[in-house]
Amino acid sequence: MVRKRSIAGTLAIPFLIVVGVLAASSLFIVDEREKALVLRLGRVVSVQEEPGLGFKVPFLDNVEKYDARILGLPTTPLEVTPLDDRRLVVDAFARWRITDVVRFRQAVGTGGIQTALGRLEPIVSTSIREVLGSVPSTQVLSDDRTALMNQIRDEARANSEGLGVEIIDVRLTRTDLPEQNLNATYARMRAERQREAADEIARGGEAAQRVRAAADRTVVELTSEAQKRAEIVRGEADGQRNAIYADAFGRDPEFFAFTRSMTSYERALRGENSTMVLQPDGEFFNYLRDDGASRANPPTTPVPAGNSAQNAAVEPPAPEEGLVTPTVTDREGNRLGESAGVTLTPVPESLTTPPQDAESVPMPAVGTGDAADAAPSAPADAPVDQAPEPQPQAEPEPPAAQN
């Protein structure tokens, strides 16, 4: 009995080992991140999608597990031609997951996830070409491309239903121009910026020219106004000077003739190596032979001094006009020089609006008389019986003869 028990105990140990091996080979565990298929001789006999413990026939059934999570599919960059024939390089990224494990196994076979990626990439690329080829490039390059990406996703999802997978999302990660078109695009962008810069420079030059023209006009008007007033003052002074000379010479006509002859001598006899041929008894030498005292005929009643000068007195100048700043604007209505900090010089109010024609500009009457050549005028209040004698005409200067 003892021997039989020892033999039974010896045989029980291997039996337990075999039973344990058979039990271990008939059990499998499915993780919550996985889906499992039980295959018997390559044919699907059961599907285990819920996490937990599963059973199979030892040494006859085989278990294939697939990832149940959302997987990524990066596509290779591809060139697409939008509706406006402008080529673009598009790089996309898709997200997908396995929904039908049995159909997925039938579609990809023993290749699994890698084979599925190879089958899905052409589907996504084809959907991208079809959708982006039906819209212009401006819509592809815009910031809001959600509608396009959703359209690509729906089309790729419909084309991938036979694989037992679902396309969850498609995103366009990069949309650029091809390398050969970038230089031309950049050159066009530079040309556009240069055109805008040239336009701004031209606007600034126009504004500067308007400011410069306004300043030049102000200078010319101020100078002309100052010259006009100077000529008026000079003419009035000359008239007053001539009146003073007339009062002085009208007291004694002989003294006027004497003074005029002395001035003629001074101008003619300068000693500049010139020769004059004249008759000795001519009128030119009258005051060299005689001082004319015998011919002096002063009025018995003195002529009051300053009558003609008082009549030619200069009126007091009009009060100065108030200065105003001219308003000059550009074609947009902005004041010239305001943005650059330039302020126009204030000018008299009469110069802010220039005259439209030449007749509206008063021309000053300038009196240019010489004391020696001024004709004497009799005083207004001189007595009738003491009227001055007619004055002799000055002898014209003879032409100078060279030695």
Based on the fold, state whether residues 380 and 253 are members of the same structural domain.
Answer: yes
Same domain membership, residue 269 and residue 369: yes
138 lies in some domain:
yes
As a whole number, mean pLDDT of residues 73-77 equals 89
How many distinct structural domains can be found in the chain? 3
CA distance 106 to 157: 18
Letter string b/e over residues 337-374, b meaning 16 or more CB atoms within 10 A of that residue's CB: beeeeeebeebeeebeeeeeeeeeeeeeeebeeeeeeb
Do 329 and 200 lie in a common domain?
Answer: yes
> Do 33 and 69 form a contact (C-beta atoms < 8 A)?
yes
CATH classification at residue 119: 3.30.479.30
The answer to whether residue 191 is domain-embedded is no
Mean pLDDT of 84-91: 84
Residue 100 has pLDDT above 80, yes or no: yes
Strand partners, 90: 78, 175
Give pLDDT, residue 199.
93
Query: What pLDDT does 380 receive?
Result: 37
| Domain boundary, last residue among 31, 49, 69 | 69
Last residue of a domain, one of 14, 43, 69: 69
Mean pLDDT, residues 334-338 taken together: 62
182-196, 234-248, 315-329: which has the minimum mean pLDDT? Answer: 315-329
Of 160, 148, 69, 77, whose CA–CA distance to 118 is shortest? Answer: 160
| Residue, of 387 and 359, whose pLDDT is higher | 359
Q: What is the pLDDT of residues 287-334, one digit of tens each?
A: 777 766 666 666 555 555 555 555 555 555 555 556 666 666 666 677
Please state the rounded mean pLDDT for residues 155-167. 91
Q: Are residues 85 and 58 both part of a single domain?
A: no
Q: Which of 40, 69, 98 is the last residue of a domain?
A: 69
Question: How much is the average pLDDT of 155-183?
Answer: 86
In this prediction, residues 214-218 reach a mean pLDDT of 90
Q: What percent of the chain lies above the pLDDT cut of 90?
A: 20
Q: Is 48 helix (H, G, I), strand (E, B) or coil?
A: strand
Same domain, 230 and 293: yes
Does residue 103 share a domain with residue 56? no
Let me know whether 321 and 206 are in one domain.
yes
Which of 92-106, 297-311, 329-343, 388-402 has the lowest average pLDDT?
Answer: 388-402
Question: Are 343 and 250 members of one domain?
Answer: yes
For 168-179, what is the mean pLDDT?
A: 85
User: For residue 90, is it within any domain?
Assistant: yes
Check pLDDT > 90 for residue 64.
Answer: no
The answer to whether residue 124 scores a pLDDT higher than 90 is yes
Domain range for 365 is 196-402
Could you tell me which residue, 112 or 374, shows the higher pLDDT? 112
Do 362 and 297 share a domain, yes or no? yes
pTM value?
A: 0.44
- What pLDDT does 366 receive? 40
Q: Among the listed ranges 3-7, 97-101, 234-238, 354-358, which one has the minimum average pLDDT value?
A: 354-358
Q: Average pLDDT, stretch 211-229?
A: 90
Query: 71 in the Ramachandran plot: left (φ > 0), alpha (ψ -120 to 50) or beta?
Result: beta
Residue 2 lies in a domain: no
In the chain, the amino acid numbered 155 is E
Answer whether residue 176 is part of any domain: yes
- Domain identity same for 291 and 203: yes
Euclidean distance between CA atoms 377 and 388, whole angstroms: 9
pLDDT at site 376:
39
Residue 173 within any structural domain of the chain: yes
Does any domain span residue 9?
A: no
Ramachandran sector of residue 187 (left: φ over 0; alpha: ψ -120 to 50; beta: rest): alpha
99 is a domain residue: yes
47 and 78 in a common domain: no
Residue 76 and residue 64 share a domain: no
Tell me the average pLDDT of the chain. Answer: 75
